[in-house]
């Protein structure tokens, strides 16, 4: 099938938003990007983007498909049978796609149930965003994530835990460098692995060509992960100048997850445990400063929300663009972070840009999101979501809404 997208603005995934360009799609991939005049006489299907902007589909590099964004999502998940969790995870993935996000990285699931969703979507049996999944997070005894994670203490056991994730089919290794907000009795500032333990886990993953992500909020844990060669720091709440300097030198990505703390603060009293609120209130200002510090230094940043945590809903992921802009990130930079930069972090070489040979994973929005980020962040301003050349949400969508059917052509 061949389609021509023409009439409006174009954001390629990097650089400025430009006008006068048209995009030809053949067989679910971008075949040509050129001035619109070069397509005069085109007789195939045409999608009019006038008054709007065609851009790559968004990425969310930090979600939890097995969590449902309730006030206490872990407890809610514990009440469900494995099959129920799997079906809800699929629905959440599809809501995410309908919200303009065409690729996600699941950074910690439950008993590998999310792998069934990943495999069905990536294999084309179900419609959804491209999914990369870490499997079980690796954490210390009593540490953050121990509710559903793979508990491992000492270098040998951490290496064994990494091998287990690889054997199970994990796409990346997620290791918990510090305490966190959602686990009772732990301090976000505390380092939960020694430098030697976390370096061993990262190295073992790399030996099998696996990238890595680290929940890292406190300064010492951040540095342990960075010095061990981590691909991305998740949250990065208590970064300091040393963290910034070493992350810049390593090219480490920061995945800020602004939405996580913001949604907790905006929903106090709605079933969120008191300890979660207390820690969030205590650390939120540090989080803001850390993000602004790394952005000002020119560090690598990718978009991630922590969707699934309290009131951090799957399908509302695009709001992270607006939340980053609220902290001083320029809209055009936020768009880059949410597309090409995230594709780079996830190693998806054929996604994240509108360029020849790339997957036709698009989001078409009203207006110019480079001038007003709300055009991309808010669902009411989304016209169409296209995955692999198939319109999946918006006007004339063949599978609109959160419950997509099987689509053999995908």
For residue 403, what pLDDT is reported?
41
Q: What gap in Å lies between CA 7 and CA 140, rounded to an integer?
A: 54
Q: Give domain 2-56+352-394's CATH architecture.
A: Roll (2.30)
Q: What gap in Å lies between CA 4 and CA 19, rounded to an integer?
A: 15
409 pLDDT exceeds 60?
no
Q: What gap in Å lies between CA 36 and CA 409, rounded to an integer?
A: 28
**Residue ranges covered by each domain of the chain:** 2-56+352-394, 58-346
How many other CB atoms sit within 10 Å of the CB of residue 168? Answer: 14
For residue 396, what pLDDT is reported?
52
399 pLDDT exceeds 70?
no
Q: What gap in Å lies between CA 67 and CA 188, rounded to an integer?
A: 21
Domain 58-346 -> CATH class: alpha beta
Q: What gap in Å lies between CA 319 and CA 299, rounded to an integer?
A: 21
DSSP state of 137: P
CA 138 to chain CA mean position, Å: 19
For the record, the structure tokens of 114 come out as 């999310």
Q: What gap in Å lies between CA 162 and CA 104, rounded to an integer?
A: 21
The answer for residues whose C-beta is within 8 angstroms of residue 308's C-beta and 6 or more apart is: 63, 64, 65, 66, 67, 68, 69, 73, 92, 314
Read off the pTM: 0.95
pLDDT digits (tens, 9 = 90+) for 222-239: 999 999 999 999 999 999
209: alpha, beta or left? (left if phi > 0; alpha if psi -120 to 50): left
Indicate if the alpha-carbon torsion angle 353, 359, 361, 367 is positive or negative.
positive
CA 322 to chain CA mean position, Å: 15
Q: What is the CA radius of gyration of the chain?
A: 20
For the record, the structure tokens of 304 come out as 């991630």
401 pLDDT exceeds 80?
no
397 pLDDT exceeds 80?
no
194 pLDDT exceeds 80?
yes
DSSP state of 36: G
């Amino acid at each position: 099938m061949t389609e021509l997208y023409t009439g409006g603005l174009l954001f390629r995934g990097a650089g400025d938003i430009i006008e006068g360009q048209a995009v030809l799609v053949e067989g679910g991939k971008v075949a040509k990007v050129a001035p619109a005049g070069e397509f005069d006489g085109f007789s195939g299907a045409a999608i009019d983007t006038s008054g709007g902007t065609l851009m790559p589909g968004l990425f969310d590099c930090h979600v939890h498909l097995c969590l449902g964004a309730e006030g206490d999502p872990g407890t809610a998940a514990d009440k469900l049978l494995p099959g129920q969790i799997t079906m809800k995870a699929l629905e959440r993935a599809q809501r995410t796609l309908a919200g303009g996000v065409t690729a996600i990285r699941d950074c910690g699931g439950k008993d590998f149930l999310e792998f069934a969703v990943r495999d069905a979507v990536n294999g084309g049996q179900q419609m959804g965003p491209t999914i990369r999944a870490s499997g079980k997070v690796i954490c210390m005894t009593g540490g953050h994530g121990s509710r559903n994670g793979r508990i491992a203490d000492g270098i040998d056991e951490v290496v064994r835990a990494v091998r287990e994730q690889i054997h199970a089919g994990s796409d990346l290794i997620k290791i918990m460098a510090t305490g966190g907000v959602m686990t009772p009795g732990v301090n976000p500032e505390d380092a939960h692995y020694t430098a030697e333990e976390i370096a061993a886990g990262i190295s073992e993953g790399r030996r099998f060509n696996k990238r890595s992500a680290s929940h890292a909020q406190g300064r010492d844990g951040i540095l342990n992960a960075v010095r061990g060669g981590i691909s991305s720091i998740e949250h990065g709440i208590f970064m300091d100048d040393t963290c910034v300097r070493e992350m810049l030198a390593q090219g480490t990505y920061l995945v800020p997850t602004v939405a996580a703390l913001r949604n907790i603060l905006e929903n106090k009293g709605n079933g969120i445990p008191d300890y979660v609120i207390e820690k969030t209130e205590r650390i939120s200002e540090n989080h803001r400063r850390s993000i602004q510090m790394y952005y000002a230094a020119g560090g690598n940043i990718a978009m991630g929300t922590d969707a699934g945590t309290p009131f951090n809903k799957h399908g509302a992921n695009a709001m992270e663009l607006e939340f980053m802009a609220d902290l001083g990130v320029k809209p055009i930079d936020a768009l880059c972070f949410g597309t090409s930069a995230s594709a780079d972090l996830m190693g998806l070489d054929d996604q994240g840009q509108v360029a020849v040979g790339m997957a036709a994973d698009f989001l078409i929005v009203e207006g110019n999101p480079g001038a007003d980020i709300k055009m991309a962040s808010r669902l009411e301003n989304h016209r169409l979501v296209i995955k692999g050349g198939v319109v999946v949400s918006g006007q004339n969508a063949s599978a609109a809404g959160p419950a997509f059917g099987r689509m053999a052509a995908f």
